[in-house]
Amino acid sequence: MTIEELEQIAKSVSQENEKYDFEVNVCMDLACASQGAEKLREALVKATEASGKNVLIRRTGCMGPCSSGPLVRVDPDDILYHHVNAKHAEAIANSLGEKPVPELQCDLNDHFDKQVRVVLENAGYIDPEKIDDYIARDGYKALLTALTEMTPNGVIHRVTESGLRGRGGGGYPTGLKWGTVAKAGGDIKYVVCNGDEGDPGAFMDRSVMEGDPHRVVEGMALAAYAVGASKGFIYVRAEYPVAVARLTTALREARRRGLLGNNICNTPFNFDVEIRLGAGAFVCGEETALLASIEGKRGTPKPRPPYPAVSGLWGKPTLINNVETYANIAPIIRNGGKWFANMGSERSKGTKVFALTGKITHTGLVEVPMGIKLREIIEVIGGGVPGGHTFKAVQTGGPSGGCIPAEMLDLGVSYDALMKVGSIMGSGGMIVMDDTSCMVNVARFFIEFCMTESCGKCIPCRAGTAQMHTLLTRICSGSGTMEELDLLVQLCATIKETSLCGLGMTAPNPVLSTLKYFKNEYIEHIVHKRCPAGVCNLQAPVPNAPVEVLA
């Protein structure tokens, strides 16, 4: 495959598409699919055939506002329909070329206006199972340009220049990481994509893998070229069967087109990718645990250093990045580092995809420039809290993050700003809570999660999270004391400082952040035996003796 051939494919796709007068795009992402998007698509095919119009029906990845699903977008007029079902197919088919169907049209301008789409630019516009659709939207152009016109160092330089930081949550500068792996000695190196989206309440990576799988593959290939690797692994959760299927198709198509394999684009560069399935362990999102899992072992972390960049998979230098990080690479190579660095804030560049969920009107995927105020995301893009309730807190970063209260909504979203207020950027889960959510109970939920997900290797995490869970359960059931609250704070500090890996080190964050901003709720539970949100049952029987944990 050469650049000319690539352009030829792109041209033939657009010629093919021009034959049609209309394009009807049906969102087939999980949320829409669970509401009958497939039936709707079949009905649309039938209805448009019957109407005799020249229509292309395309199945696409996530369009964003999942709460309005199933979604249909009609091009070239760019009309978005919401809550569509199979019964509406005929009306839509008849409306093509005439006036849009008024009762299905939705006004989501506020939702879309503040968003900037880089990672999600293709979602909703391409069929994820067709490589040609991706190529027609400049897909694989970056890879072939890099292979023929750029040196590996040039690629790293461009990524460094962009200021891209790891989108898995840590925020480590991507260019720096690539440089370290490139400098590491040895002939065999690996690139790994972390698609083990363990944060419960987030689904950005799933949508990217399902909606635009080639973009991840292209990002990995560019990374492999830059660091000198010829083998890649994508580690995907087994809970995401559709993502696995789409990636498998994408890899097969890419091989068929000569975009993976030996001597790609007639250069000495060889690269291929294998998929590895996770098996339901949150700790496998930690890089050393993930590598152990790829090697077929229990996913327990190892002390660092040595970092995987020096000694990773089977002891070889390994580059690990998150799905969204790889998804940012192709546009950076295509448009230049400066283009990317122009978006975002001082120390956090580019855009970030968030999964907006919880007590909010428009749930779904949003992509915003870094530095945007939380208030804009929640009140404008998300449409605020529904049902006349009042906003209480927004949780970012999943079990490793924290809750941010209403008075801090004017905070600009960036790695450093979120860290400063006791939360983290995380992978992009953003869960909105209103006055019916009890913050103590939420803290207990996260600690329970960390307790069951702790791999058991180090004592602070294994025993500490269990003790924290006991204390929080006692507070939630009305038998906690103020002394126990002090003990809880002490435990938080111990676990934070002495755990082996990120899971333990960040496990106390949800407790610490709720204690910082919602201490009155803890005190209400302990002193007045009252749950302000009315969630906890304070007369529940409680275990009096602390849980025995083998340390």
Interface pick for other proteins out of 72, 221, 294, 447 (rule CB under 8 A): 294
Strand duo 72-75 + 55-60: pairing: unpaired
Give me the sign of the Cα torsion angle 385, 387, 390, 396.
negative
Nearest CA to 212 out of 362, 367, 77 is that of: 367
112 lies in the site for other proteins, by CB under 8 A: no
Q: What is the DSSP string of 291-336?
A: HHHHTTS------SSSPTTTS-GGGS-EEEEEHHHHHHHHHHHHH-
Token pair recorded at residue 256? 């068929």
**CB 279 to other proteins: min, Å:** 3
551, amino acid identity:
A
381 lies in the site for other proteins, by CB under 8 A: no
Smaller CB separation from other proteins, 207 or 348: 207
Query: Which residues 252-281 are close enough to bind other proteins by CB under 8 A?
Result: 276-281
Smaller CB separation from other proteins, 298 or 516: 298
**CB 293 to other proteins: min, Å:** 7
199 lies in the site for other proteins, by CB under 8 A: yes
Yes or no: say if 246 and 213 are a contact pair by the CB < 8 Å rule: yes
282 lies in the site for other proteins, by CB under 8 A: yes
Interface pick for other proteins out of 33, 119, 144, 491 (rule CB under 8 A): 33
Measured distance CA(516)–CA(439) in Å, rounded: 11
**CB 8 to other proteins: min, Å:** 34
Smaller CB separation from other proteins, 47 or 442: 442
**CB 235 to other proteins: min, Å:** 10
398 lies in the site for other proteins, by CB under 8 A: yes
Number of residues written out for the chain: 551
* Residue that is written with structure tokens 């999600």 in the block: 120
Yes or no: say if 66 and 365 are a contact pair by the CB < 8 Å rule: yes
540 lies in the site for other proteins, by CB under 8 A: no
Query: Which residues 439-468 are close enough to bind other proteins by CB under 8 A?
Result: 442, 445-446, 449, 453, 455
* Contact pattern for other proteins over residues 316 through 355, marking x by CB under 8 A: ---------------------------------------x
Count how many Cα atoms sit within 13 Å of the Cα of residue 1 in the half-sphere of its side chain. Answer: 25
Yes or no: say if 507 and 400 are a contact pair by the CB < 8 Å rule: yes
3 state SS for 22-68:
EEEEEECCHHHHCCCHHHHHHHHHHHHHHHCCCEEEEEECCCCCHHH
485 lies in the site for other proteins, by CB under 8 A: no
**CB 431 to other proteins: min, Å:** 5
34 lies in the site for other proteins, by CB under 8 A: yes
Measured distance CA(225)–CA(233) in Å, rounded: 15
Count of residues engaged in binding other proteins, rule: CB under 8 A:
52
Smaller CB separation from other proteins, 87 or 297: 297
* Residue that is written with structure tokens 């490589």 in the block: 131
**CB 436 to other proteins: min, Å:** 9
Interface pick for other proteins out of 86, 182, 202, 385 (rule CB under 8 A): 202
* Contact pattern for other proteins over residues 211 through 250, marking x by CB under 8 A: ---------------------------xxx----------
**CB 159 to other proteins: min, Å:** 28
Measured distance CA(540)–CA(128) in Å, rounded: 50
Smaller CB separation from other proteins, 197 or 218: 197
**CB 48 to other proteins: min, Å:** 27
201 lies in the site for other proteins, by CB under 8 A: yes
Q: How many helical (H) and strand (E) elements, i.e. helices and strands, does the chain have?
A: 23, 13
Residues 98-125 as b/e (b if ≥16 CB within 10 A, e otherwise) read eeebeebeeebeebeeebbbbbbbbbbb
38 lies in the site for other proteins, by CB under 8 A: no
Yes or no: say if 140 and 216 are a contact pair by the CB < 8 Å rule: no
**CB 195 to other proteins: min, Å:** 11
**CB 541 to other proteins: min, Å:** 15
Exposed/middle/buried for residue 236 (C-beta within 10 Å: 0-12, 13-18, 19+): buried
Stretch that binds other proteins, among 145-153, 178-186, 291-299, 493-501 (CB under 8 A): 291-299
Residue 384, CA distances (Å) to 142, 202, 387, 516 in order: 39, 19, 10, 24
Smaller CB separation from other proteins, 197 or 286: 197
Smaller CB separation from other proteins, 14 or 34: 34
Whether residue 65 is preceded by a cis peptide bond, meaning omega within 30 degrees of 0, is: no
- Which chain residues interact with other proteins by CB under 8 A? 30-31, 33-35, 66-67, 197-203, 206, 238-240, 276-282, 293-299, 355-359, 363-365, 395, 398, 429, 431, 433, 437, 442, 445-446, 449, 453, 455
